[in-house]
Amino acid sequence: MKIIIIGATGTIGNHVTKLFEKKHEIIKVGATQGDYQIDITSSESIELFFQKIGSFDALVSTTGKAAFKPLIEMRYNDFQIGLQNKLLGQVNLVLIGQHYINPSGSFTLTSGILSEDPIPSGTALSTVNGAINAFVKAASIELKNNIRINAVSPGVVEESPAYFDAFPGHIPVKMDTVTNAYYKSVMGALNGEVLRVY
C-alpha cells in the first residue's frame, strides 16, 4: 500500500511510520521535515502536495496544533490556532484528498482524550478534538468509492513525560497501544469510528 503519514517525524508519527514502513510504501510528510513539507492550514499547499504524489491508498494524520492556556487568558486569536490547524487542517486533508485517494482507501485523523476528559488550560484542544470526532462520524456516510475514515483519540503517551504534570490523574498510554490503533484503522474495516486509546 502507498500510505501518506502527515506528521511523520512527530512523537506519535515517528512510531506509526516505523510500524507501517515494514511492509508498505510510506510517504513521510511534515511542516519542516520529511519527504515532503506542507502547511496544513493552506489549501494551496495541500492541493500542490496531492498533485505531486498522485493517487494513494491511505492517509494517516498525526499532526495538529492548538493553544494550551487558561480559559480566562484565552482570546479569539488563541482559539483560532486550533481551529485553523488541528481541526480544519485535518478536515482539509480529507476534503482535498478524497479526490486523489484510491477506491477502498482510508483516512485516519487524530483527535485526543481531552474531548471527553478535559483538563485545566485544555479547552481549545477539547473543543477541537470533539469537532474532529464529529467530522469523522459525519463524513463516513458521505465519502464515495468505499473510502473509510476514522479517528484515533489517544491519551498522553509514555514518551511525552513533559506533559504528565498537565494531565493530573491520567495514566500514560503505551506507544504500542497507540500505534496499533492506527494500524487497525488503516488495515481493518472500521468506518466512522473513534478509536479511543486511554
- Rounded to 5°, angle at Cα 42 from 103 and 112: 70
How many beta carbons lie within 10 A of that of residue 172, not counting itself?
Answer: 15
Give the count of beta carbons closer than 10 Å to the beta carbon of residue 100.
17
Answer whether residue 27 is part of any domain: no
| CA 87/CA 132 separation, integer angstroms | 6
How many whole angstroms separate alpha carbon 198 and alpha carbon 195? 10
Residue 94 identity (one-letter amino acid): V
Cβ(34)–Cβ(26) below 8 Å: no
* Structural domain count, the chain: 1
Asked if residue 3 is part of any domain, the answer here is: no
**Distance, C-alpha 43 to centroid of its chain:** 17
Q: Answer yes or no: is 12 within a domain.
A: no
Q: What is the pTM of this model?
A: 0.95
Give helix then strand counts, H and E, for the chain.
Answer: 6, 7
pLDDT of residue 127: 98
Residue type, 58: A
Q: How far apart are CA 56 and CA 106, in angstroms?
A: 9
Structural domain includes residue 13: no
Domain containing 49 — which CATH number? 3.40.50.720
Q: Is residue 26 in a domain? A: no
Q: What is the C-alpha separation between 33 and 112, in angstroms, rounded?
A: 24
Cβ(30)–Cβ(7) below 8 Å: yes
Closest CA to 63 of 131, 127, 16: 16
In a domain, 21, yes or no: no
Q: Give the pairing type, strands 148-154 and 101-110.
A: parallel
In a structure prediction context, what are the per-residue pLDDT tens digits for the chain, which is 198 residues long? 999 999 999 999 999 999 999 999 999 999 999 999 999 999 999 999 999 999 999 999 999 999 999 999 999 999 999 999 999 999 999 999 999 999 999 999 999 999 999 999 999 999 999 999 999 999 999 999 999 999 999 999 988 888 888 888 888 899 999 999 999 999 999 999 999 998
Distance from C-alpha of 192 to C-alpha of 168, rounded to nearest angstrom: 30
Structural domain containing residue 47: 38-197
> Residue 8 domain-assigned?
no
Domain-embedded: residue 5: no
